[in-house]
Every structure is written in structure tokens, then in C-alpha cells.
Structure 1
Amino acid sequence: MAEYNLNSEKLKKLEEYIDGIEEKEGALINILHEAQDMFGYLPKDLQLYIARKCNIPASKVFGVVTFYSYFTMEPRGQHVINICMGTACFVKGAEKILTEFKRILNIKEGNMSEDGMFTINTLRCVGACGLAPVVMVDGKVYGRVKVEDVEEIIKEYKK
């Protein structure tokens, strides 16, 4: 385990989780979910470890990680802010809301704030067009968001 540049305590827990699974290849998505929950993201070292532990090609693990948008290879903040950029949200000002989040948190889209608290992403459509523009923070939906609401939303998660 020492060859991986990863937290050994978390790696041990992941190893125990994987060892408890009989059909490892069929459980790859579940294993990746567990690993991302433990580590916060799936760096290449962790993907390689999972591939070796499950006796499957690293390319298959990488393929699954890059195919599903839930998985990330970059560290995320404690709180993930998703701004919907679907047509209804965009028309109702989602771009201005995104700009305000980036300005207040001083980060670019897809990046994590310096303090590790926030990551900002955009989504194509969350399917809540009647609430446009929509912002989701850690899965909590905020509808009819105005630029003036952005600071209050951020304060809610800084507590």
C-alpha cells in the first residue's frame, strides 16, 4: 500500500470494503462511490489501486470514472454549488448568478475555493424549469434565485 500517495487509514478502510465483495468487477460502480465518499475524489493513484485490488484493467476503471458525471478526479470543496444553465435558467439570469458566486468566492467554474469550502459547477438542466433560475448546493435546491440571494446562500454554508 505504501506505493500509493494516499491516506493509508482511508486506504485500509477501502481495502476492507473491497475484500468484503465477492464479485468485484460487477461492483465497480459501488466501489468507486465508496472510494469517492471516503477520499472526496478519485485521483489516478486511487483508481490504479482499485483496478489492482479488483483485478481489472485500469483503463476500465478510468473509463467508468470519466463516463459518469458523479465521479470526479479533482478535489471538491466541502460544499458543491451547481448552477443550472438549461434554457429556462439561462434566459432568467443564471449567467449573472454564476458570475456573482465566482466573484464572492473568488474562484473559477470547476475549481475549489482556497479554504476548501466550495466548488462551483454548472449543469445542463436539473429539470426544475418552473423554478428557474435554479441553484443546488449539496443537493438542496434553491429556486427563483436572484443575484442578491447569492451572498445569503453562501453564508448558510459558512456556519
Structure 2
Amino acid sequence: MLPPAARLAARRLLGLASSSASEAAARRLAPSPIAASSCAAAARGSVPSSRPFSTALNYHIDSPENKPGMKWEFSEANMKKVKEILSHYPSNYKQSGIIPLLDLAQQQHGGWVPVAAMDAIAKIVEVAPIRVYEVATFYTMFNRTKVGKYHLLVCGTTPCMIRGSREIEDTLLEHLGVKRNEVTSDGLFSVGEMECMGCCVNAPMIAVADYSKGSEGYTYNYYEDLTPKRVVEIVEMLRRGETPPRGTQHPERKNCGPAGGNTTLHGEPKPPPCRDLDAC
């Protein structure tokens, strides 16, 4: 026989459980907003043009240039890099090299990774293809659709946003005549968003992944302390095949130092006295 307090607690728990079950049943019976909108669109004879963003990152739809069964292999030069990468891991843990191999495949394939490349990597590391798919869909730095030869990534995290990263992105999109993640008609540029890249003190900033020279000439550079005017100048330099100076674009700054130079720490700093145990 349970004491009165225990019986009361049990009745409350049963009440909560039955309430939760009723709510869950109601949710199952009610149509979801996405399903309802899809049905309405089908009734009108139209199909929604895009999926919710969170699911679009994980879906794959076969296309003539991106579907399983297509032939894809690393170049002879990159196969040497593949062997070098795998040499860092025990022979029974080849799958540990999936991330660097995906990165190498992306460089070789012009900035994006097709399903056929993922299948090729699965064979190399001797795992089921799904093990490579789940890595490629988890990390957003792996592009699974075409990008420009110069993929411009605007930092959208708080410090850069406060310092004007939205204006930088809007300027890029307007200047290039594209939307985010679209490629310009000449195939040169695309604009995406990246989370914090560690240069908050030089905000706002962008990274430029340069796939114009293949994996042998691949570069990934930061351009910091940007203004809308300066970011357009950088784009036009890239268009002309020039190499913009990387790092801070502020004329009075050196690396992450203050404008005009350091005001402190001009000499060798003195060690704290507590390092000398006898002096303490």
C-alpha cells in the first residue's frame, strides 16, 4: 500500500501522461503547415520553388551532373595526396580521413562535392557511402551544388554583423546581380555566409575560396576591416585576375594591431615577480 503522498504523485503523473497523449494525438490528426501549403500548391497546379532551409541542406535530388553511378576519381597528383592523408591514420581507421578527402575532392571539382565523389571516397576508406554522406551534409563548408570560381563567404556572426557585415553582403549581391548561393552567369562568383572565422577584432570580414586554378593552386584568404566600397574593389581585382592584398584593408593597421601602431608593449615585457619563488 503506497503512502498518501506517493498515491497523489502517481495520480498527477498519470494525469500528465494522459494529457500529453491527447495532445500528441491531436497533433497527429492536424495537418502540418508545410504539408497543408504543399497540398494547396498542388491543388493550384503549382509546386513550391524551394524547401525549408534546414532541410534543403540535407536533401539530394539527382541531376544530369550530380547523381550516383557517375564516374569520378581523384587525379593522379591528388591520389598521391590521398595516400599522404591516409598515412596519418591507423590502417583500420581510414574513415578518419573522410573530412580532408572531401576537402581535396571539393578543390579538385571546382568548389563543390558531387555524390559520385563521395562514393569514390567511401571506396577508398572502405566504408558504406552513407558514412561519407552524413559527414558531407553535416558540415556546411562542403558545398554540394556548384559555386563560383571565387566563392565569397561573408561572416554573419554577431561582431561582424554589428560592424556592418549585412551591408557588405548586400553590396556584393547587388554588385554581382545574384542572390545568396547563386552563381554569376560567367561562373566566376558566388556569395555565401560563414559563421565566425576568428577575426572579430578586424570585423567585418569575408573569406575568398579561390577554385580558379584547381586543387594545385587553391587558396583560402581572409579580407578584413572591409567597407562596401573596398569589397567591390576586391571583387573587381579578382575579376581581372589580380591578387588583392589579404588581411586587414585598413591603411593604418598592421595585422590585428591598433590603427596608428601600438601604444603599449614597445619593449620586452618584464616577467611577473611571482615567477621568482624566492622573491615571493
Mark yes or no: TM-score above 0.5.
yes
How far the C-alpha of 1:74 sits from its partner, in A, is 1.4
The structure where helix makes up a greater share of residues is: 1
- Counterpart of 1:51 (choices 122, 125, 129) is 122
How far the C-alpha of 1:32 sits from its partner, in A, is 2.0
Please list every run of at least 4 consecutive aligned residues from structure 1 whose deviation after the TM superposition is greater than 6 angstroms: none
Equivalence for 2:189: 118
Change (3 A) 1:102 1:127: same
Identify unmatched segments of 5+ residues in structure 1. Answer: none
**Percent identity of paired positions between Structure 1 and Structure 2:** 24
TM-score, normalised with respect to structure 1: 0.80
How far the C-alpha of 1:127 sits from its partner, in A, is 2.0
Q: What does the per-residue CA deviation read over 1:61-104, in whole Å, with 9 as the maximum and x for residues that have no partner?
A: 10111223332211221112111112121122211110110011
Which is greater in Rg? Answer: 2
DSSP-derived class of the 2:75 partner: helix
Tell me if 1:81 matches 2:162: no
Contact 1:4 1:46 in 2 (8 A): no
Change (3 A) 1:27 1:127: closer
Tell me if 1:155 matches 2:225: no
Identify unmatched segments of 5+ residues in structure 2. Answer: 1-67, 210-219, 241-280
How far the C-alpha of 1:17 sits from its partner, in A, is 2.1
Equivalence for 1:5: 70
The amino acid that maps onto 2:141 is Y
How far the C-alpha of 1:36 sits from its partner, in A, is 1.7
The amino acid that maps onto 1:158 is R
Give me the whole-angstrom Cα distance separating, in 1, the residues matched to 2:147 and 2:177: 15
Taking the TM superposition and a 5 Å limit, the aligned residue runs for 1:103-142 are: 103-138=174-209, 139-142=220-223
Contact 2:181 2:192 in 1 (8 A): yes
Whose relative contact order is higher, 1 or 2, with alpha carbons under 8 Å and at least 6 apart? 1
The amino acid that maps onto 1:70 is M
